[in-house]
Structure 1
Amino acid sequence: MLAWLIPLAIPPAAAQYARLGLSQFTHTRWTTDDGVPATGVGSLAQTPDGWLWISSAEGLFRFDGVAFERIDPPVGSPMERASPRSLFVTRSGELWVSYAQGGGIAAYRGGGLRPVGPPGRAMSLSVVAQTRDGAIWAIGEGYRDTRFHRWFGGKWESLDARLRAPEGFAGEVCETADGSVWTSLRADDRSSFFSLPPGAAQLRPSPIRTYGMVTCRIDPKGRMWIADKGGTRMVVGADGRLIERPIVFPAVPNLDAAYLAFDAAGGLWGGTNSTGIFYIPDADKPRRTVADRLEQFVAADGLTSDGVYTPFVDREGNIWFASDAGLNRFRPARALRERSIPGDAGQGYAIAGAGDQVFVVTTAGVFQLGRGAPRRLLDHGVGGICPAREGGFWAVRDFEILHVRAGKQRSLPLPAGGGLTGSCVEDRSGRLWASLYQGGAMWRDAGGWHRLRQPLPDVRWPDLVLTTAGDAAYVTSDALVTLRPEGASTIALAPFDLGDIMKLSNGLRDIFISGNNGLLRVRGNRVDRIDARRFPWVARLRGLVQTPSGDTWLRRALWVSRVSTADLDRAFEDPSAHLPRTYYDLRDGVIPALDQTFTGPQVTVGAEGRIWLPDRQGLGYIDPGKGARDAAPPPLVIRSLASGGTVYRDPGTVTLSAGTRALEIGYAALSYAAPHRVEFRYRLEGVDEDWVSAGTRRLASYTNLGPGKYRFEVMATNGDGVWNSKGATLAFEIPPTFVQGWPFKLLCGLVVLGLLWLAYSMRLRTVANRIRARLAARVEERERIARDLHDTLLQSVQALTLRFQLVVDELPIAERARPALEAAIDRADQTIAEGRDRVLALRSLQEAPDIAAILADLVQRQGFDASVCISITAEGTPRPIAPPVLDEVRYLAGEAIFNIWRHACATQVAIEIGYRDDFSLRLRDNGVGIDPEIARSGAAGHFGLAGMRERARKLRGTLGVRRLPEGGTEILLSVPGRVAYTPARRRGLFRFWRRQGPRPPAISASSR
């Protein structure tokens, strides 16, 4: 592999692991139970976006650390029935996949695989390298003529003839720092190594001796290594020259082929197809013995299979091995092992810290851990230790107590009766306190051993700690007891419902008591509590220690948590405060803690801030200053959008089908160091009011979405609380269906308006019919009255007049009464004529030709002066007026014309009839004008205007009376058309109105 293809370096702190050996890495495996393809894994690659790609006989997959996703080839392509063979990432970041069974080569672009060649007959190629000129080399399976192929300038070229390569199967291709291309050719059991210097036309044999199948790899310093049955060795330097005395590591037993990779710390990793993997720390440094040179890890150690393939180092420093039975990952452990201290870990360890020194008690003795290598201070037989104020430590043995300091020992006798538990503490006055098996505690000073006079509460745990005031203290089942020679004081714990007490620990300022139900902090005489329901990991602690740098470490049986001391104080004081933490578990190298066989702390801080942890396998430690915390935010991608059976992989901006209601968005954090710790939160703008905490879930589902443009955002945090606040986004659009679009909404609006108009029209028609019915009833009544007057009263009066006329005719002409009788008969005739006129007026509505004629008749009857100019005009197409309306209009117009004749003193009168949607009648004169107050409310004692307005209201119309600015008065009557006009003939449900034609000329009548 080319030097530039080496993955990004792991953090600088990873260099420490190279000298610690394979045991300082944690191993994680994935098998078919975890989703690995059943046929195993062939090769691995990582694209710049962070995806880890996997080839398998089942197809191409990508892996986010949690789930495996299959990427199907195009339907109908040769790749559909072929198996991926090798993976390669180009300089531009594209993934190239070569297929066996003649499937060709494909590139992953735009969320799918796209064929890129080669042309001609199908071949099985392995893409192996890209040289500095951008050319991509591919190796075929042939023995001659079909082995070397190069992609350059957008086309494929076969190089066998030009390179004049001898017969044999080609191996891997590597390019050294000087631009030379190297490869091997294997024929039968013989193999030869060749180079192609820059500018050379053909391969040149090299003096490098090889055996069987040969693989090559470029290390981080640009040097080339090869591996074969003869072992692993560096053969070409960074300058491209052969190394005369190469560094050689012998091959592992039964080796057939080995595949190499280098981590950033200089460690060499090898995968074999028959004997598992091997690891060489600091491979470019000589070793004293063969045992130091190489470590192996096989199936018996937990490897998925002894047959593994090309190792791969990702950009986070994880080392991956593909095998035919699964996937393996090696990761530098965050919790390291101290293996140089002997002892039976199964019997438990005791540990105590004193400044930069840490003392450990094992079955083999007491050892000091400092800045250098551990050293033994005492032989076995120590039951417990505690730090001494003047330096060194106190050791409790079966027959004495020793003070050990600077290589010197001072022995003290045990108290009478013995029975010490091994827990001790030296208080501020130099008194040594020790707990007793039978309960309570004793202290020793210059005067010997002493007991408190008062009885002490029963000891729940024999551990003794120092308070911040420098006094000894221990805990019972319901109280914290502080010890002084003058007596003991207690703080009740029962009110805090701590449950079974697990551990008593002292911090920098406080004493902490852990139980089943939570954690207590004792500061002076004040006690605060954190409930286990709020933060379950603060309960059931095996130990707690605080560092001067501001961290608090809390140890449980299966993991260790790290929090900020300031955040912990805030959590005690504020029940709503958040308490972020970083935690370490078995996947980080933390071994489960022992049951408490030894007294004393189960976690302590030592030199350089190391956190020491006794466990079931010995002694481990976490070094916070050297890579224990991952400060890199996890990279985020939107992996898919699924809706309606369609999946959009690696979506950019997506337009979904119209009417989409539900969808699912898959996202991933491409962090492979601790993917189980990555937590997410997301939101969909316009749908989610705030961020949704998803935990470790990697799928967001939405239903009942409407049309519109949406923007989905997701953020993630790694296990150490570092957020990728930039996150990943996805924009998508849901077009509206026809019924969701604005044309349909406009149509619905028009329909609603039409229905409202129809309802209004029907209501208006109903009101108009009701008015017409009332008016028709009045007309019928008037006609009945007219008939009765004509048939009864007038006829009777007429008959009576004739009788009187006959009587008068018989009287002598000289009769004095005759003239009076004739005058009475003439008056009766006049009354009959007037009655006939009234009857005629009652029935004239049925005979009136139109409103213009009626108005002309009213004007003529009124008897205007001949000098008055009167005009009657009509606008619009004349339409028949309903008889009841015509009656009311006649009386209203008659009153108006009478007022003009009587009060206006006008010389011009204009009457306008309007046949529009509504019927209107306008009367104007140029007379003296009407008083505005009279126009508003009428003249006192006169009811002309009031009657006119009443008649207008009966017609559901309006009457306006106003004084004109130029002089004169205007009276305007407006009646709704549905009331005024005679209804047209209907067809079906709707009325078909006559189309309005051209406006006819004005009709004029005048009187002088």
Structure 2
Amino acid sequence: MRKGTCFACLLLLSGALAGQSRFVRFDHLNLDDGLSQGSVYAILQDRMGFLWFGTQDGLNKYDGYDFTVYRHDKYDSGSISDNCIYSLFEDRDGYLWIGTLSGGLNRFDPRTRRFKSFRYAANDPRGLTSNLVTSIWQDRKGTVWVGTDNGLNRLERDGFVSYFKGGPSYAGKRVNCIYEDSKGTLWVGTTTGLYRYDTLTASFVAHKLSAKKTNTDDHIMALHESGAGVLYIGTHGDGLFAGTMVSGELPEFRQIVLEGPELDEVSSIVSDPEGNLWIGFHEEGLVRWSPQTGEQLHLRANPVQFTSLSNDRVSSLAFDSFGNLWVGTLNGINKLNLINRKFSFYQNRPGIQGDIANSVFAIAKDPEGNIWTGTRGGLFRMDKKGNIREYLHGTSASRRADAIRSIYCVSNASHYTLWIGTEQGTLETLDPTTGKFRSFVVDPKWRENPIYVIRTDPNGTFWLGTLEGLYSVETTTMRIRHHDWQDSARAGTRRKEIRSIEVDNDGTLWIGTRGAGLLHYDPHRDAFRSFVHNPADSFSISSNVIASISIDAKENVLWIGTASGFNRFVPAEGRFYSYTERDGLPNDVVYGVLPDNDGVLWLSTNNGIVRFDPKSETFRRYDASDGLQGTEFNAGAYHKSVDGELFFGGINGYNSFYPNAIRDNALKPDVVLTGFKVFNEDYDLPKAPEYTDTIRLSHRDDVFSFEFSALHLTAPQKNQYAYKLEGFDQNWTSTQRRFATYTNLDPGKYTFRVKASNNDGVWNDTGLTVVILIEPPFWSTWWFYAICSLVVFTLIFAAYRMRIARIYP
């Protein structure tokens, strides 16, 4: 596995989580996904890339898609000795060591899939000191150390050497953790203190964490050394301690005081490449703490947030080789993706699923860096520190909870004054410095005339798109005028609803309507021209329902998002060129269109965010696994800031990103064989599938199938595959399925190859290779032909001799 490469990629994306610190989102695995039981006490990734989870009811092996569960079988001496798994460790030879609740120590050979157990025996002085194994470690010399609830054991060829073992009149020490630091010092944490192994005396020396306490008062639960050489000690009752490791000197430990009550029962510790410490607690969830800045993020289970931590009792933590943090709790597995979140994700009311304040219809970023969002629940502002303030829009007389209605558009184009369009049809202005609102009724003829879009032209005139058509606002006098386009254009509909407006360089307006197509308005001549869909004309606009318009003045084209495809309009030709799902567009409903600074277009749809390259005419889709608020976005909720940051809002919050900062995951996945079946039954291979490179079959085995997996666990549902059976297939078969079936092949030698990509389409072209040898029936073998030839020759020769004998008796 390529851990170094992955961590380098993670460093390149450092700070990504900090940008989303209020909106951390976990993926979950539980019994519905195949996990054998919900209490996850131990997590390990082996050298092949599989993840292993120890639970109360079985050992689980995970390939990113499926779980393989190992349980005790009393009729099989090679099965695991107990189902409750407390600890896991992989040694330098690839063997997996498993500590159990009551079955002692197990060594698992992943090649043969067999277990060997080591148990406590009362009359064996060289045996394991207890069947409850809490921790396992292999030091740099290759020695395996085993912690139990009755002391520490060192494995040797003829048995175990024990330390801290109890006697008839006293109890042994419970060993909770074992760790070897970067200097080669072995540390052991017990319920009665911290110990260091002295190689000169071959004995353990006690260390106090605090001068105010005795060593036996220290209840040690976790040990971990960071990349900076700091040894961290997690305790039960006194929280976190740290000691800097200096060559030739023993560390002095200091207590780390974390913000928040009851953060004193540490269960597990890991660190990321940025140097942040991730600390699991017995009852208080998960904390990310920065030793450099002291910044702290406390993550807890939230019953109304389905993407929160699943349970506050964290029992195990582990990073995989792709930068994902895996969290074991009493309610299943949690995965936090720290490397593949390409988009920052925000919510006005964090974590509250379905809250109307998180359904975003409008976004604007002001010159101070504040982000303003219009929602079904009013207007919100988030400052650069992530602090969120809610504004009850309207005049002072109407700012009541029962007066809050949806905000459909927000514009900050007028000298720090915020312009706001409401569902009622009032135009609101807000002075952010004073917090004062002013309210203007756009058209008193209409009881409700929602304002969907606000744009300004070079002359400073504001243009409003509403349910009842187009309005202009002279900002100096606040004179509002209605421009009735149906009097000057034949639209074929009575609908006047306007959803998008863009101002061209010449001051003319391009207007997108909901049902009446595209309009071009010249304010100088007060003249409209309409463009509508014509089923008989393939060069007409693809839909009359238009959600967004983007003008490319350099190329003199318009890019238009509609309810039925994405359109490129060339005004000089009067032609529209449409792109739909048939052309690779992931979804035909295009809500927002924004150009980045390189001319690439970004689209929000009902199937994620899409990157469109106009030069190659190719689409690239992003979804929730990349950090999006969800799959479905909202009309009107798109914005490009002055510094090039793009924003898109949807039904569950909003996303922001700088296009040039988006990087694909460069790590190629390892591809392994996970199963082989004949006639849809598991075939008895001499070795585990992932270690198998050659399979021999009989000619009778004429229906067989391969199962395979790309061990890239970031977003496995997006991994892609291509396979080919050399000697039979002429071309590669591309698929997202993980199996391939073949029937009625002729005897001979074949080579099965699989290559795979990660979630960002980066391929491992070397992939997996398995040789298939199909033995011919005996009547088709050379030796059968030889025997038959010999028999025929013998018969001919015998007949010849008999004939000669008759002629010459």
Which TM bucket (shorter chain)? 0.7 to 0.9
Three-state SS of the structure 2 residue aligned to 1:425 is strand
Judged with a 3 Å threshold, the aligned counterparts in structure 2 of structure 1 residues 536 and 543 are, in CA distance, closer, same or farther, namely same
Alpha carbons 1:622, 1:628 under 8 Å: kept = no
Deviation at 1:589, TM superposition (A): 4.6
Q: TM-score, normalised by structure 2?
A: 0.77
In structure 1, the partner of 2:325 is 319
- Given residue 225 of structure 2, which amino acid in structure 1 is its aligned partner? I
Three-state SS of the structure 2 residue aligned to 1:33 is helix
For residues 435-450 of structure 1, what are the structure 2 equivalents within 5 Å? 435-442=465-472
Find the partner of 2:268 among 248, 254, 259: 259
In structure 2, the partner of 1:859 is none
Judged with a 3 Å threshold, the aligned counterparts in structure 2 of structure 1 residues 654 and 183 are, in CA distance, closer, same or farther, namely same
**CA shift digits 1:559-604 (9 cap, x unpaired):** 223343433xx3xxxxxxxx451312277351465755xxxx3123
Judged with a 3 Å threshold, the aligned counterparts in structure 2 of structure 1 residues 590 and 745 are, in CA distance, closer, same or farther, namely farther
Equivalent pairs counted in the alignment come to: 734
Alpha carbons 2:235, 2:265 under 8 Å: kept = yes
In structure 2, the partner of 1:640 is 675
**CA shift digits 1:187-225 (9 cap, x unpaired):** xxxx22222245342211212254445322222322222
Alpha carbons 1:433, 1:472 under 8 Å: kept = no
Deviation at 1:475, TM superposition (A): 3.0
Deviation at 1:268, TM superposition (A): 3.1
- Given residue 702 of structure 1, which amino acid in structure 2 is its aligned partner? Y
- Given residue 656 of structure 2, which amino acid in structure 1 is its aligned partner? Y
Does 2:558 match 1:504?
no
Alpha carbons 1:63, 1:69 under 8 Å: kept = yes
Does 2:572 match 1:545?
no
**CA shift digits 1:155-177 (9 cap, x unpaired):** 65414289999942222112234
Deviation at 1:480, TM superposition (A): 1.6
Deviation at 1:68, TM superposition (A): 0.5
Deviation at 1:489, TM superposition (A): 2.1
Q: In structure 1, what is the Cα distance between the partners aligned to 2:704 and 2:22?
A: 46
Judged with a 3 Å threshold, the aligned counterparts in structure 2 of structure 1 residues 25 and 98 are, in CA distance, closer, same or farther, namely same
Judged with a 3 Å threshold, the aligned counterparts in structure 2 of structure 1 residues 139 and 7 are, in CA distance, closer, same or farther, namely farther
Alpha carbons 1:320, 1:328 under 8 Å: kept = yes
In structure 2, the partner of 1:131 is 139
Q: In structure 2, what is the Cα distance between the partners aligned to 1:46 and 1:563?
A: 37
In structure 2, the partner of 1:836 is none
Does 2:731 match 1:690?
yes
In structure 2, the partner of 1:522 is 569
Does 2:222 match 1:215?
yes
Q: In structure 2, what is the Cα distance between the partners aligned to 1:654 and 1:13?
A: 40
In structure 1, the partner of 2:46 is 47
Q: In structure 2, what is the Cα distance between the partners aligned to 1:6 and 1:126?
A: 32
Q: In structure 2, what is the Cα distance between the partners aligned to 1:582 and 1:198?
A: 57
Structure ranking higher in helix proportion: 1
Deviation at 1:67, TM superposition (A): 0.6
**CA shift digits 1:844-873 (9 cap, x unpaired):** xxxxxxxxxxxxxxxxxxxxxxxxxxxxxx
- Given residue 330 of structure 1, which amino acid in structure 2 is its aligned partner? L
Judged with a 3 Å threshold, the aligned counterparts in structure 2 of structure 1 residues 180 and 418 are, in CA distance, closer, same or farther, namely farther
Judged with a 3 Å threshold, the aligned counterparts in structure 2 of structure 1 residues 42 and 229 are, in CA distance, closer, same or farther, namely closer
For structure 1, which segment, 633-642 or 489-498, has the greater mean C-alpha deviation from structure 2 after superposition? 489-498
- Given residue 109 of structure 2, which amino acid in structure 1 is its aligned partner? Y
**CA shift digits 1:115-151 (9 cap, x unpaired):** 3868965653455222233322111332xxxx32224
In structure 2, the partner of 1:585 is 624
Percentage of matched positions with identical amino acids: 19
Judged with a 3 Å threshold, the aligned counterparts in structure 2 of structure 1 residues 235 and 430 are, in CA distance, closer, same or farther, namely closer
Find the partner of 2:702 among 652, 658, 661: 661
Three-state SS of the structure 1 residue aligned to 2:728 is coil
Alpha carbons 1:636, 1:728 under 8 Å: kept = yes
In structure 1, the partner of 2:188 is 183
For residues 345-494 of structure 1, what are the structure 2 equivalents within 5 Å? 345=357, 348-352=360-364, 360-362=372-374, 380-381=393-394, 384-386=409-411, 388=413, 421=451, 423-427=453-457, 432-442=462-472, 451=483, 455-456=488-489, 457=491, 458-467=495-504, 471-476=508-513, 477-485=515-523, 486=525, 487-494=527-534
Say which structure, 1 or 2, has more relative contact order (CA 8 Å, 6+ apart).
2
Three-state SS of the structure 1 residue aligned to 2:579 is strand
For structure 1, which segment, 673-682 or 583-592, has the greater mean C-alpha deviation from structure 2 after superposition? 583-592
Q: In structure 2, what is the Cα distance between the partners aligned to 1:671 and 1:47?
A: 13
Deviation at 1:635, TM superposition (A): 2.6
Find the partner of 1:227 among 228, 234, 238: 234
In structure 1, the partner of 2:195 is 194
Judged with a 3 Å threshold, the aligned counterparts in structure 2 of structure 1 residues 49 and 451 are, in CA distance, closer, same or farther, namely same
Q: In structure 2, what is the Cα distance between the partners aligned to 1:637 and 1:316?
A: 17
Alpha carbons 1:269, 1:277 under 8 Å: kept = no
Judged with a 3 Å threshold, the aligned counterparts in structure 2 of structure 1 residues 307 and 20 are, in CA distance, closer, same or farther, namely same
Does 2:334 match 1:328?
yes
Does 2:747 match 1:707?
yes
- Given residue 246 of structure 1, which amino acid in structure 2 is its aligned partner? Q
In structure 1, the partner of 2:404 is none
Alpha carbons 2:80, 2:116 under 8 Å: kept = no
Find the partner of 1:603 among 600, 613, 638: 638
Three-state SS of the structure 1 residue aligned to 2:499 is coil
Q: In structure 1, what is the Cα distance between the partners aligned to 2:628 and 2:200?
A: 51
Q: In structure 1, what is the Cα distance between the partners aligned to 2:181 and 2:359?
A: 55
Q: In structure 2, what is the Cα distance between the partners aligned to 1:138 and 1:222?
A: 24
Q: In structure 1, what is the Cα distance between the partners aligned to 2:346 and 2:459?
A: 36
Deviation at 1:88, TM superposition (A): 0.6
Q: In structure 2, what is the Cα distance between the partners aligned to 1:377 and 1:228?
A: 41
Q: In structure 1, what is the Cα distance between the partners aligned to 2:482 and 2:300?
A: 59
Alpha carbons 2:606, 2:631 under 8 Å: kept = yes
Q: In structure 1, what is the Cα distance between the partners aligned to 2:588 and 2:368?
A: 29
In structure 1, the partner of 2:153 is 149
Three-state SS of the structure 2 residue aligned to 1:203 is strand
Judged with a 3 Å threshold, the aligned counterparts in structure 2 of structure 1 residues 100 and 327 are, in CA distance, closer, same or farther, namely same
**CA shift digits 1:606-646 (9 cap, x unpaired):** 36643323334544324545566423233322223233642
Judged with a 3 Å threshold, the aligned counterparts in structure 2 of structure 1 residues 612 and 339 are, in CA distance, closer, same or farther, namely same
In structure 2, the partner of 1:271 is 280
Q: In structure 2, what is the Cα distance between the partners aligned to 1:244 and 1:139?
A: 23
- Given residue 279 of structure 1, which amino acid in structure 2 is its aligned partner? V
Find the partner of 2:161 among 158, 162, 178: 158
Structure 1: segments with no counterpart, 5+ residues: 571-578, 759-986, 999-1008
In structure 2, the partner of 1:762 is none
- Given residue 160 of structure 1, which amino acid in structure 2 is its aligned partner? Y
Three-state SS of the structure 1 residue aligned to 2:586 is helix
Q: In structure 2, what is the Cα distance between the partners aligned to 1:7 and 1:528?
A: 42
Deviation at 1:738, TM superposition (A): 0.5
Alpha carbons 2:57, 2:71 under 8 Å: kept = no
Q: In structure 1, what is the Cα distance between the partners aligned to 2:48 and 2:453?
A: 55
**CA shift digits 1:327-346 (9 cap, x unpaired):** 22222354434468999726
Find the partner of 2:803 among 993, 1000, 1004: 993
For structure 1, which segment, 387-396 or 602-611, has the greater mean C-alpha deviation from structure 2 after superposition? 387-396
Structure ranking higher in strand proportion: 2
Judged with a 3 Å threshold, the aligned counterparts in structure 2 of structure 1 residues 403 and 688 are, in CA distance, closer, same or farther, namely same
Compare CA radii of gyration and give the structure with the larger one. 1
Three-state SS of the structure 2 residue aligned to 1:730 is strand
Judged with a 3 Å threshold, the aligned counterparts in structure 2 of structure 1 residues 174 and 507 are, in CA distance, closer, same or farther, namely farther
Q: In structure 2, what is the Cα distance between the partners aligned to 1:257 and 1:413?
A: 58
Q: TM-score, normalised by structure 1?
A: 0.63
Deviation at 1:244, TM superposition (A): 5.2
For structure 1, which segment, 175-184 or 656-665, has the greater mean C-alpha deviation from structure 2 after superposition? 175-184
What is the RMSD computed on CA atoms of the aligned residues? 4.7
Q: In structure 1, what is the Cα distance between the partners aligned to 2:348 and 2:304?
A: 25
Deviation at 1:686, TM superposition (A): 1.8
**CA shift digits 1:752-775 (9 cap, x unpaired):** x99xx99xxxxxxxxxxxxxxxxx
**CA shift digits 1:342-390 (9 cap, x unpaired):** 9972674422479997863437997888988789999834864447599
In structure 1, the partner of 2:692 is 652
For residues 723-872 of structure 1, what are the structure 2 equivalents within 5 Å? 723-744=763-784
Q: In structure 2, what is the Cα distance between the partners aligned to 1:602 and 1:41?
A: 41
Alpha carbons 1:27, 1:328 under 8 Å: kept = yes
